Amino acid sequence: MKPMVDLVAGARPNFMKLAPVVRAISMAGDLSYRIVHTGQHYDPSMNDVFFDELGIPVPDVHLEVGSGTHAQQTAKILERYEELLLKEPPSATVVFGDVNSTVACALAAVKLAVPVAHVEAGLRSFDRGMPEEINRLLTDAIAELLLVSEPSGVENLRREGISDHKIKLVGNVMIDTLLTQAEIARSRDTATRLGLAGRAYGFATMHRPSNVDDPETLSVLLRLLDELSAELPIVFPVHPRTLTAAKRFGLGDILAHGRPNLICLGPLPYNDTLSLVSGSRLVLTDSGGLQEETSVVGVPCLTLRENTERPITVTQGTSRLVGNDILKIREAFRDVMEGRWGQPTPIPLWDGKAGDRVAKELSEWLASR
């Protein structure tokens, strides 16, 4: 019998990381897998669309936890995943990224002596005010195989006392998905469908609690997007968390009706996002994934954060940290518009083959236990 691994996904950024690993495990043929969806994200536009377009098989198990406070969401995942583990234990649990589903499933598994592998281990923003930083620290502390996307992750894990034999630098699985989908994304020509044919435009996203949960900050950022869009039209797919916050703070009108040049949309499918990002003049975002994707497609990225757990996107990629500081954002915007932005250099192991390396490390690890 082949060893069976659980592949856990819960929130949108997990799906792009899961897809290449599913493909690579199927190709290698020496492991079987079960896809476990926690249901942290549940809107079709944040879920089903991604499974369809990335060719991910329908989840074998759905835990249907939905939204809640951090403790509620984490607790529900712990209980429901534990129940599954008790009924049908896998040989290992593989978790991705840094969302609540990642830490919750890792914890349920190790407590039942199911070993855990973490894809995208070792990233650190050194900002414990970020829920994701807590998820990363805890998951890495209990995982037995740490699969790392960039060299800073290896250094961080060593500094935390994790022994070398557990750490494997495999590269970035999200970039596998980007390279696989690039041609389909180009053919979608999403900008034309939005009436932007032949025009320069920007692309913006934001959903981090530090940017959207405080009325003052959100108001400043939305008004700034509106201001910048007078010079460069901006496409802005709005995350449900951001929309809910904006309505609560009386800022809903900016998003509901948009502005002539601030094109507000709902969450977009992956291929449309990649199509728009690749063709854009610049991206403004607080997303981790977009910092990586813009670095590979060579589009300037104004990162709306004070810090990043992905420092290689600043040193070798196209990202600059601008926080939510209006002056820094305006200055960076001017730098892009006037051609003052460095070119990225290719990042080692962000080559479209990270999924294969993950599958190989998983097989060797399980064979050696």
Q: How far apart are CA 109 and CA 337, in angstroms?
A: 49
Question: Contact between 286 and ligand UD1 (CB under 6 A)?
Answer: no
Interface with ligand UD1: number of residues (CB under 6 A): 19
The single residue listed with the structure tokens 């490390």 is 361
Active-site positions?
207
User: Shortest gap between Cβ of 230 and ligand UD1 (angstroms)?
Assistant: 28
State the nearest-atom distance from the C-beta of 339 to ligand UD1, in Å: 31
Among 8, 25, 40, 234, binds ligand UD1 (CB under 6 A): 40
Considering only 5, 12, 96, 168, the residue that binds ligand UD1 (CB under 6 A) is 12
- Scanning 80-88, 235-243, 332-340, 342-350 for contacts with ligand UD1 by CB under 6 A, the matching segment is 235-243
* Residues numbered 95-134 forming contacts with ligand UD1, rule: CB under 6 A: 98-100, 131-132
**Would you give the binding string for ligand UD1 spanning residues 245-284, x where CB under 6 A is met?**
----------------------------------------
Task: Report, in angstroms and rounded to the nearest whole number, the Rg of the chain calculated over CA atoms.
Answer: 20
Integer Cα distance of 210 and 214 in angstroms: 7
- β-bridge mates for residue 4, sequence order: 32
Q: Which residue stretch of 21-29, 57-65, 93-101, 196-204 sits at the interface with ligand UD1 (rule: CB under 6 A)?
A: 93-101
Binding part of the chain for ligand UD1, among 80-88, 144-152, 192-200, 239-247 by CB under 6 A, reads 239-247
Question: Does 207 sit near ligand UD1 (CB under 6 A)?
Answer: yes
β-strands 262-265, 4-9 pairing: unpaired
72 binds ligand UD1 (CB under 6 A): no
Please answer whether residues 45 and 15 qualify as being in contact, where contact means their C-beta atoms are separated by less than 8 angstroms: no
Given 4, 30, 34, 42, the residue binding ligand UD1 (CB under 6 A)? 42
Residue 168's CB: how many other CB atoms inside 10 A? 20
- 281, 292 Cβ separation under 8 angstroms: no
Helix (H) or strand (E) holding 203: strand 202-205
CA distances from 297 to 206, 225, 279 (A): 20, 23, 9
Distance CA 351, CA 344 (A): 15
Give the residues lining the site for ligand UD1 (CB under 6 A): 11-13, 40-43, 46, 67, 98-100, 131-132, 207, 239-241, 244
